[in-house]
Amino acid sequence: MLSAEIAAVAETAVVGEQVQGLFTVVRYTPSALRPDMKRMKRYREAAARFVSSRFLPFVAFIQKSLIRMNLFELTRALVDIESTTNHEKNVGDYLFAHLSTLTSRYNGNIERIPAELDRDNIFASWGEPVVTLSTHMDTVPPFFGSREDGDLIWGRGSCDAKGIIAAMIAAAEKLLAAGTRNLGLLFVVGEERDSAGARAAAATPRGSRFLMNGEPTENRLALGSKGALRYEITAHGKLAHSAYPQLGHSAIHTLLDVLHAIRRIPLPHDPLLGDSTLNIGTIDGGRAPNVVADQAEAEIMFRTVGDPARTREAVSAAVAGRAEAREVFYTPALQLTKVDGLPTTVVAFTTDIPSFEGTWGQPFLIGPGNIHVAHTAEERISKRELSEAVDIYARMAAQLLATGRSAA
């Protein structure tokens, strides 16, 4: 089987007994993977030597060999494609090629759902989609490629959420091979920043009644997730020589005072979700150490557990007359439904689910991987959890299709 680091699509057109063509499209080939290009070339040359109606079974075998990667190979192939937020095009092209063969094999459909310029969601379906498995293609920076050992696959996006993409595709293949229909796969852009892909999908629903959203929950069904409230705080000052600070006004000093006040805001508690929290994510400002700063800004995020009205009022009071607070993103906290037979958890992160606004059906949140290593230099995912996730997704989808409810 061809190494998972290369995504390929082999297509054969036959008119009567004549083979019109056999070609391979390589979707992504980072320099580190060039040794595998020699192997790809050998596949092409071998196929070309035998292209005739006499050898059509051989051609069909080559087609399947090029596409059918195992779960771990596909995970690594996806991780090795850089797709930090706003740069998802290459991984989207890869998934479109990979899923095109799956839709062709099982009489499905595949389409791109535009979210922004050069940023498309990928949606594959078989029959009328009643259950849709969905997660995101983008990752946080910085990009770094994959490696693996006996138990783990490492690399940016391995658990958040490219391993989940691979598990969902494997689950769909398992269901389709068993004759299941009315299934969809939806992979979206932008979850790590502003849920642009989920919002675009919400504007173009496809009739799905259940949405299985994948995020790292260690294969436990999340009963709730916190919301997010993000601000940009901007302070202005007056330039002066730092030897004469009384002639200017430091925007940095003002910003620090404002942030101190914001840190003292009492934050609410929820019995299920726990405490609301605050993170000061970035601070920037000033021009030089010997110049009084005329500008400074910070980005902050609250993880909310309920109605954010009082938090918004407190932020406005903290900056009043001293700085500007611009709300740039908000998504609400969620409480979700149980499914019989699955262990449960509660998560502090937020997801695309609120941005879908219910348009793709009742949501469920579950996936392999530990959120504590997501977004870190040690991001990794357990091979055991990946394999278990395939079975969990397949069982959940089959149950929802059979009963039309979560049974809880």
Q: Which residues are catalytic?
A: 191
Give the integer Cα–Cα distance in Å for 86 and 266: 35
CA-based nearest residue to 355, from 331, 378, 375: 331
**Structure-block tokens of residue 377:** 């230099």
Question: What kind and span of H or E run contains 110?
Answer: strand 109-116
Other residues' Cβ atoms within 10 Å of the Cβ of residue 405: 13
Residue with tokens 């609301």: 276
Q: What are phi and psi of 140, to 5 degrees?
A: -80, 155
The span from the CA of 166 to the CA of 299, in Å, is: 33
Alpha carbon dihedral 34, 70, 165, 146, in 10-degree steps, equals: -40
Task: Decide: 298 and 282 in contact? Cβ < 8 Å.
Answer: yes
Burial, 253: exposed, middle or buried (Cβ in 10 Å; 0-12, 13-18, 19+)?
middle
Q: What whole-number distance in Å separates Cα of residue 397 and Cα of residue 266? A: 42
